[in-house]
Each structure stands twice: as structure tokens, then as C-alpha cells.
């Protein structure tokens, strides 16, 4: 595969665009093909067998477009389908969980790691397993935060409602005396970088000092850059192209996508899987 | 078809169980087969062509089980697929929009009708068309309220967060001076009956007097009872059976379903469509 080939990135919908945003900052020369399987969003409430089947469809569609590597920009898929995708495809496949877990283990020190995710990601124990693979001592406190997904898609990013929701979801990260129980908090869902500052501010306000917030999207992009450099697969040259594919409703996808990507999307192509 | 045959009720997921709850109160002797197509939930963000295809699959599965009538307990499907289902199936098919619109037109008087729904239902103009068919004078003020769906599924039914969310969604129903602009508010999404009292309380607090809240689920059940009685299709006898079918994740469906149904569900059957 040529180093000029694109990176393929997929997610069940919009959220993975925060990973694309981080990738464009970390590796601006890379071409990117993004596939949002919004006809079947959300994956988080599906059974593992269904998620694996959907992920297969997405990954094949990207492989058919000649990408040089695939980034699974979805915590749910990363937690159940990476092995299968790696076994099936003759391409490097990266998820978003291991990079976030690695960064969290590095900053948390002796303290437990707090993880915010969808109900599915938390219940899957994926972060627990990823951290256990890195350290036998690191504990985890997981908190499902599904309303943050809805708030992100609705565009309610600040004001009383998101602040109260965030505050409530952060409660398990503090003990009865109000002291923090965690050494850092991982944003374990691709929607949550939209609330990174609010989460950091609420953590600091309650703890009386900053608590690091680990953004899986940023950590994943950093890992991809290092991986491409190591294997001499990085593209040189001018800013890369971004192609966006969706499986349903390209118009309304484009309307909301800009919030996740940080810049407006002009063209969205509709495909069938 | 025998009058002892069941009523078939379907929805994209959980929400339709509020219609089942109302049906069991209005017609306790009826057997009910409920199908929640939770493998493909939510329908609200799909294209009309996709929704029609999904609805077809659900309705056929119920028809294959020998139901005597089909209740489409989903505003999204009711707004785009009723005609197709009626054309295709040799069975009575009822939606949830016309009954709610009829009740709203009756109570709103000269004032506009406020409608809360998902973004898809509001954008589809379905309530506007249903009201236009009843009265040339009735205006409508629609407000998409997607966060109420997430709050219902998360079980955050009272407290600051739902109150602030409801308050914000009700804003367009009041003018700059704080006077109500609507004669009633229709709960145009099957999840919203879980917030009926909160919505009524917030409306009354802001208006200084009660504003009627129309529950589409209750109005639909009332219409079905009248329809069955008119056609001598109502079942007599002891309390009817409820069979619940889902297309994915029967266990987690059962966990949350009780909140919508008002009583726990013991058994959920998983089917493929």
C-alpha cells in the first residue's frame, strides 16, 4: 500500500469525527476517509454479535477504497471487534481504547482511573481489561454517561443542564468527604471531547485542584502518528483530503458534523453497506 | 380473524410500551403482542425509505402471528408509513398521531396546539398535516425535545435536570410577556408520557393556570377501544396476555421496559426480522 493512501476511520455515527479532528491536528498531511454508519447508529445498545457484523461491513467498505490503515473511532466497536477485524483484514487496525488506557495509566500514578463512557462501553469492561494489560495495580471506576451523547448531538454544550449532568456523572469519582478517588478521568466515548473543558472545570472545582482529563481521541491520533512514522507509512506534503461517507441522511449528518469536527463539512457522500 | 386474536403493537424500541400500558388500561381483556425493533432503534434519524422498509418488516412479523389489528406505537412510523402498511396488509392499522391530533384540536379551541416530539416527528410536519385535516384554523407550534427520550431511557424522571430540560423545551409555547401561546400541549413521542406530570406542572407554574396536556398513548388506546367495539372485534373475558418480542438484547430491554409499561416484564422473546 502506498504511503499516499488514505487512513480509513469509521464510527457508528458522528462521534468518530472528534478522532478525525485530532488526526488532522496530529497528522495534517494524511488523507482521511471517514465512514459514519448512521443508518445503524447507535451501536452501543446492540449485542456483541451484531456489532461485530456491522464493524465488518464498515471495515470492508474502507478496505475496498484502498486505505492504508483503519482506525476504529468508536469505543463500542474497539471493545468487541478489533481482534476479528485484525484477523480478517490485511491492514493495520487501531482502536481508541488502548491509547486512552495507556495515557491514563501514565498520569494516574497510584490512584484509580475514572472512566466516562456509554453504558455499553462501561459494562463491557473494555477499559478494565486494557488497564489490566498495562498494570496489575491500576484500579478503575467506571461511570456510564449516556446523556452526554444526547447533549452533544443536541448541541447543548454549556449552561445549567450540561453542568448538572456532568456534576452528577462525576460523583462516583469523589468519596463521601468530597476528596477525589481518581488520579485522572478518561473520556471513553468519542462524543465526550465536546465537554472536555466543562468536565475539567467541574473536576477542579470539586477537588480544589486540577485532575487530568485524558482524551482518547487525542491519544489515538498521537499513537497513529507514531505508528505511521515508525513504519515509514506517513504521507508527506500539503494538507490531506477528508472524504466523508455515511449510510443514511447525508444532509442532516453534515448539519451536526461540524460541531464534532471543529470545521464545517461541505460534502457528504451516501453509500450502502 | 377471531375476536380472540391479539392486537399487534410495534415500535422501534421501548417507547411503544407506554401505548401498551394505555391499551391494557382501556381494553384489559385484549391479548397483546408487542414487538420492539431495538436492533434498529432509533427510527427517528433514518430516511423515510428506510423507515418504511423497517416498518414493513415489523408489521409482517406481527401479521404472521395472526393479530387482528396493528397499532403503530411510534410517531416516526405513524408519520411516514401508515398508508403503505394499510395498502399492503389486509388488517386494520392504527397510528398514534391522528388520535392525539384529534384530542388536541378538541381541547385547544381557538388557540394554537403545542407539540413536543423527536426532531424527526417535528420536521416531518405530521402533526401539522393531521391537524390541518381536522380544522383549517388550528395552528401548531412544534418543538423537538430529543433529550427527553434519553432522560426517559436513563431513568432520570425527576429532579433538576429533567425540570430544566422540560422548562427549556416549553419556552416556544410562551410569548415574550410570559403568556401562553398554546391551548394545549401534545406529547408527540411515546417516551414523553413518563414526563406528563412534570410537563403539566411546569406549564401550570409558568402560565399561572393549568394547560391541558394531551397524551397520544391514552388517546390512541381510547380510539382502539371504540374501533374494536364498533366492529364487534373486542375480546371478552379475563385479563389478556402480553407477549413481548424484541430484535436484540432481550435482557437489557426487560430491565428498562418496566419503567415504560408500569409493571415489570418477566419474559422477553428474541426474534429475527
pLDDT one digit per residue (tens) for chain A, 273 residues? 899 999 999 999 999 999 999 999 999 999 999 999 998 888 877 878 888 899 999 999 999 999 999 999 999 899 888 988 998 898 999 999 999 999 999 999 889 999 999 888 898 889 999 998 888 788 999 999 999 999 999 999 999 999 999 999 999 999 999 999 999 999 999 999 999 999 999 999 999 999 999 999 999 999 999 999 999 999 999 999 999 999 998 888 998 999 999 999 988 999 998
Continuous segment of H or E residues that includes residue A149: helix A146-154
Output the nine-digit C-alpha cell for B178: 410570559
Tell me the shortest Cα–Cα distance from A10 to chain B, in angstroms: 19
C-alpha–C-alpha distance, residues B70 and B76, integer Å? 15
Q: Which residues, including other chains, have CB under 8 Å from residue B149's CB and lie 6 or more apart?
A: A150, B15, B42, B118, B189, B191
> With 90 as the cut, is the pLDDT of residue B151 above it?
yes
pLDDT attached to residue B270: 94
Mean pLDDT of B150-170: 95
CA distance B191 to chain A (A): 15
Identify the residue whose cell numbers are 449552561: A159
Q: Which of A46, A147, A160 sits opposite B154 (nearest CB)?
A: A147
Size of interface A-B (CB pairs under 8 A): 55
Tell me the chain A residues in contact with residue B154 when contact means C-beta distances shorter than 8 Å: 146-147
User: Looking at the predicted complex, does its ipTM rise above 0.90?
Assistant: no
Average pLDDT over residues B133-157: 92
Residue B233, pLDDT score: 96
For the cut 80, the answer to whether the pLDDT of residue B262 exceeds it is yes
Answer yes or no: do B47 and A168 touch at CB < 8 A: no
**Contact, A244 vs A36, CB < 8 A?**
yes
Residue B215 has pLDDT above 80, yes or no: yes
Length of chain A measured in residues: 273
CA dist., res. B96 & res. B139, Å (int)? 19
Q: How far is B40 from chain A (nearest CA, A)?
A: 6
In this predicted model, what pLDDT tens digit does every residue of B2-15 receive, in sequence order? 999 999 999 999 99
Enumerate the residues of chain B whose CB falls inside 8 A of the CB of residue A147.
147, 150-151, 154, 156, 161
Query: Which candidate from A154, A160, A161 shows the least CB-CB separation from B146?
Result: A154
> What is the structure's pLDDT at A163?
97
Q: Quick one: pLDDT at residue B231?
A: 93
Q: Which residue of A has its CA nearest to B118?
A: A154
* Chain B, nearest residue to A272 by Cα: B50
B235's enclosing H/E stretch is none
In this structure, the number of other CB atoms found within 10 A of the CB of residue A92 comes to: 18
Of A40, A45, A164, the CB nearest to B161: A164
Of the partner residues B38, B45, B165, the one whose CB lies closest to the CB of residue A161: B165
Mark yes or no for CB contact A47/B147 under 8 Å: no
When pLDDT is cut at 50, 70 and 90, the band that residue B73 belongs to is very high
Sheet of strand A269-270: strand arrangement = A93-94, A69-72, A7-11, A32-36, A242-246, A269-270
* Structure confidence at residue A235 (pLDDT): 97
User: What pLDDT score was predicted for residue A160?
Assistant: 96
User: Residue A88 has what pLDDT?
Assistant: 86
CA atoms within 13 A on the CB side of B165: 30
Instruction: Give the nearest partner residue to A165 out of B38, B161, B168, using CB atoms.
Output: B161
* pLDDT the model gives residue B140: 95
Residue B166 CA to residue B168 CA, distance in Å, equals 5
Please count the CA atoms within 13 angstroms of the CA of B106 that sit on its side-chain side: 9
Closest CA–CA distance from residue A197 to any residue of chain B (Å): 20
Task: Indicate the pLDDT class of residue B194, thresholds 50, 70 and 90.
Answer: very high
Set of chain B residues whose Cβ sits within 8 Å of the Cβ of A15: none
pLDDT at B16: 97
C-alpha cell at A113: 482511573
Nearest by CB: A248 against B39, B46, B252: B46
> What pLDDT sits at residue B120?
82
Residues in A whose CB is inside 8 Å of some CB of B read: 38-41, 45-47, 50, 146-147, 149-151, 153-154, 156, 160-161, 164-165, 168, 248-249, 252
**Chain A residues in contact with B249 (beta carbon < 8 A):** 45-47
Catalytic, B74? Answer: yes
Q: Collect all residues of chain A within an 8 Å Cβ-Cβ radius of residue B147.
A: 147, 150-151, 154, 156, 161
For this structure, is A58 an active site residue? no
Instruction: Spot the catalytic one: B27, B58, B74, B184.
Output: B74
CB < 8 Å to A168, chain B = 161
From chain B, which residues contact A within 8 Å (Cβ)? 38-41, 45-47, 50, 146-147, 149-151, 153-154, 156, 160-161, 164-165, 168, 248-249, 252
Instruction: Please tell me whether the overall predicted TM-score, pTM, comes out greater than 0.90 for this model.
Output: no
Closest residue in B to A163 (Cα) is B161
Reading the block at residue A249, the C-alpha cell is 441522511
Measure B267 CA to nearest chain A CA, in Å. 18
Is the pLDDT confidence value at B159 over 90?
A: yes
- The pLDDT of B232-249, averaged and rounded, is 95
To the nearest whole angstrom, how far is the Cα of B146 from the nearest Cα of chain A?
A: 8
For residue A266, with 0-12 CB atoms within 10 Å meaning exposed, 13-18 middle and 19 or more buried, which class applies?
Answer: exposed
pLDDT of res. A80: 86
Give contacts of B252 with chain A, Cβ < 8 Å: 45
The three-class DSSP label of residue A87 is: helix
Query: B236 CA to chain A: closest CA distance, Å?
Result: 39
Q: Which of A47, A160, A249 sits opposite B248 (nearest CB)?
A: A47
Q: What is the mean pLDDT of residues B244-263?
A: 92
Determine whether the interchain pair B147/A168 forms a contact, defined as Cβ–Cβ distance below 8 Å.
Answer: no
Amino acid at each position: 500500500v502506498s504511503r499516499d493512501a488514505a487512513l480509513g476511520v469509521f464510527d457508528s455515527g458522528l462521534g468518530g469525527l472528534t478522532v478525525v479532528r485530532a488526526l488532522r491536528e496530529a497528522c495534517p498531511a494524511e488523507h482521511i476517509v471517514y465512514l459514519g454508519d448512521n443508518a445503524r447508529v447507535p451501536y452501543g445498545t446492540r449485542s456483541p454479535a451484531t456489532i461485530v457484523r456491522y464493524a465488518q461491513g464498515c471495515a470492508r467498505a474502507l478496505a475496498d477504497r484502498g486505505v492504508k490503515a483503519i482506525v476504529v473511532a468508536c469505543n463500542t466497536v474497539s471493545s468487541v471487534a478489533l481482534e476479528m477485524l485484525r484477523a480478517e483484514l490485511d491492514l493495520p487496525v487501531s482502536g481508541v481504547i488502548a491509547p486512552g488506557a495507556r495515557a491514563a495509566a501514565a498520569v494516574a500514578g497510584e490512584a484509580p482511573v475514572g472512566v466516562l463512557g456509554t453504558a455499553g462501553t462501561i459494562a463491557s469492561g473494555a477499559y478494565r481489561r486494557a488497564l489490566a494489560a498495562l498494570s496489575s495495580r491500576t484500579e478503575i471506576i467506571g461511570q456510564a454517561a449516556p446523556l452526554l451523547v444526547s447533549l452533544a448531538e443536541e448541541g447543548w454544550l454549556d449552561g445549567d443542564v450540561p453542568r448538572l449532568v456532568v456534576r452528577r456523572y462525576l460523583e462516583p469519582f469523589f468519596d463521601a468527604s468530597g476528596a477525589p478517588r481518581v488520579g485522572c478521568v478518561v473520556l471513553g466515548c468519542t462524543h465526550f471531547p465536546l465537554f472536555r473543558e466543562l468536565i475539567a472545570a467541574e473536576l477542579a472545582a470539586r477537588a480544589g485542584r486540577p485532575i487530568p482529563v485524558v482524551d482518547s481521541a487525542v491519544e489515538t491520533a498521537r499513537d497513529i502518528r507514531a505508528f505511521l512514522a515508525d513504519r515509514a507509512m506517513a504521507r508527506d506534503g500539503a494538507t490531506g483530503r477528508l472524504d466523508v461517507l455515511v449510510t443514511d441522511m447525508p444532509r442532516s449528518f453534515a448539519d451536526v458534523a461540524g460541531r464534532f469536527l471543529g470545521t464545517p463539512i461541505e460534502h457528504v457522500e451516501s453509500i450502502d453497506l
